[in-house]
Amino acid sequence: MTTRVESFLNDQCAQRPDGFAMSDGTGVEWTWRDLHEASDAAADCLSGHGVQPGDRVVILCENCTAAVAFLFGAWRVGAIAVPVNARQSASELARILDHAAPSVTVLTTAVSPDAIAHADRLGATATTGKYGTVHLAKTHASNPEDDIRIAVLLYTTGTTGVPKGVMLSHENLRFGGMASAHLREMTCKDVIYGVLPITHVFGLASIVTAASYTGAAIRFEARFSAAKLYAALGRGVTLLSAVPQMHALLMQYTAEQGFARLGSKDLRYVSSGAAPLDPAWKRKAEAFYGVPLQNGYGMTETTAGVSITKNPLGSPDISVGPPLPGVEVRIDESVPGGGHGMGEVLTRGPHVMLGYFRNPSETERALDAGGWMHTGDLGKFDDTGHLHILGRSKELIIHGGFNVYPPEVEAAINEHPQVVQSAVVGRMKAGDEEVLAFVQVSENCDLTADDLAAFLRDRLTGYKRPAVIVIGTQLPAAPTGKILKHKLLDAFAAQLS
């Protein structure tokens, strides 16, 4: 019998029913008993709307307590939760709804103006309960999946731009949450700042699941604000996981207040993910926080975690650390560009996904017969057994902590009638990756970058929109016509600021 994620919540409710569990920007503050009751109410709500075991339930949300209640509520009825960021555009959401075919879509309209707009489009109606007020829409007929192991579908986009639902099991989430908790030495006395989206694997596994396992509290924020983070770090937050851009904005805000260092008496753990660490920036961040800055590596398909550092303050290590306990990692040097210890990172263990939802061909491409996940990332081990990630062969861009998949952005750009073709790449700038779009048009075309930016505004959510759009009549290409993405930055250097 599969041990399910909701058992963590049951344990916390039994052990510390009156302990502080979570709060959000609406003023809600829940104990573990409150969360347990809210998830029961969410389960009753879903059942009342016809949700059956194995059905998918889309939770279209930004970070809040209600979203967590419906996560656990979906699991309580045996359904598969599909957390989706409410900041997705209407067309992006439509592709996910078509693929996942959820019987019900829940929208956290109390914290998200984007969820309100989606609720209007979907004809959703309001419902109120112990979980607060949300909107629900009946989006598809019941069509249960038989595999009872599946806890969530988390959507990424494949090389074709078609969304892929990563199937993570209850075992995956439990392992990811427990591994995160143990490495951070989390206890029920910790308070986590929850600004990383719970619709992404890190926020879901390493924050929500880890907190449910340990009894640590979460202070949710729907959207990042340096001022709010600064205030929270002065009011008892002990664990902060963020991306480099968030750290940089906090340091800038603190300096504007007249302080060079944060000076928090409670903060004991800080991590930076989703981008490589620069040694100078790492030293600056550690001087600011006064605690070590940890770094790690993972992906949606590996329940976030593959490896993580556990370094002392001042360590020069900029690796992503050794593999997690119970996780296997090896380097396949046979790939193009491999050799001398460098190659594709392969990983195996209880963190690896079940596969892609109703997509056996993509699953077979990612998972081999031996259970190894082919990450598509290039890496190597150093002499201490720490893993170093050298590049992303899958061309994934991570902007502001969000995954941006170039084929999806390119598909939106190519919808414009004056666009011949396009190529999207990432570029590191100020500790974050920005999205660059290179667009080919015909001779004498009058399309401007501003025109195209306006065209994309309703087609792509904010973090996917290109920061820079370069328009030209020719892109560097191979004899076959394939765009040579690695030559774009040099070819258009004069037009990039």
Among 79-83, 197-201, 248-252, 340-344, the range scoring the smallest mean pLDDT is 248-252
Q: Quote the mean pLDDT of the chain.
A: 92
Q: Which amino acid is at 277?
A: L
Distance CA 185, CA 183 (A): 5
pTM of the model: 0.84
Give tens-digit pLDDT for 351-381. Answer: 999 999 999 999 999 999 999 999 998 889 9
| Mean pLDDT of all residues in 82-92 | 93
Give tens-digit pLDDT for 270-316. Answer: 998 766 676 777 888 999 999 999 999 999 999 989 999 999 999 99
What the block records as the tokens of 192 is 């986590």
Contact 205, 304 (CB under 8 A): yes
What kind and span of H or E run contains 155?
A: strand 150-157
* CATH architecture of the domain covering 397-495: 2-Layer Sandwich (3.30)
Within the chain, which residue ranges are assigned CATH 3.40.50.980? 6-177
Residue 479, pLDDT > 80, answer no
Give tens-digit pLDDT for 439-453. Answer: 988 788 999 999 999
Cβ partners under 8 Å of residue 288, min gap 6: 251, 254, 260, 261, 262
Contact 238, 266 (CB under 8 A): yes
| Mean pLDDT of all residues in 244-260 | 86
Contact 409, 403 (CB under 8 A): no
Per-residue confidence at 215, pLDDT binned at 50, 70, 90?
A: very high
pLDDT at 274: 67
pLDDT at 484: 80
Radius of gyration of the chain (CA): 22
Q: Phi-psi bin for 253: left (phi > 0), alpha (psi -120 to 50), beta?
A: alpha
Which candidate, 1, 7, 68, 61, places its Cα nearest to that of 34?
Answer: 68
pLDDT at 57: 98
Report the share of the chain in percent with pLDDT over 90: 74
Within the chain, which residue ranges are assigned CATH 3.40.50.12780? 224-392
Give tens-digit pLDDT for 33-59. Answer: 999 999 999 999 999 999 999 999 999
CATH 3.40.50.740, domain 224-392, yes or no: no
Among 84-88, 169-173, 419-423, the range scoring the smallest mean pLDDT is 419-423
Within the chain, which residue ranges are assigned CATH 3.30.300.30? 397-495
pLDDT at 295: 93
Burial (CB count <10 Å: 0-12, 13-18, 19+), residue 467: middle
Distance CA 27, CA 262 (A): 25
Domain spanning 6-177: which CATH class is it, in words?
A: alpha beta
Which candidate, 276, 228, 219, places its Cα nearest to that of 250?
Answer: 228
Contact 207, 218 (CB under 8 A): yes
pLDDT at 355: 98
Which string of DSSP letters, residue by residue, matches 311-350?
PPTT----S--SBPTT-EEEEETTSTT-BTTBEEEEEEST
Cβ partners under 8 Å of residue 204, min gap 6: 83, 152, 154, 173, 198
Residue 265, pLDDT > 80, answer yes
Query: What's the gap between Cα 131 and its chain centre?
Result: 24
Per-residue confidence at 170, pLDDT binned at 50, 70, 90?
A: very high
Per-residue confidence at 159, pLDDT binned at 50, 70, 90?
A: very low
The crossing angle, in degrees rounded to 10, of helices 406-413 and 449-456 is 110
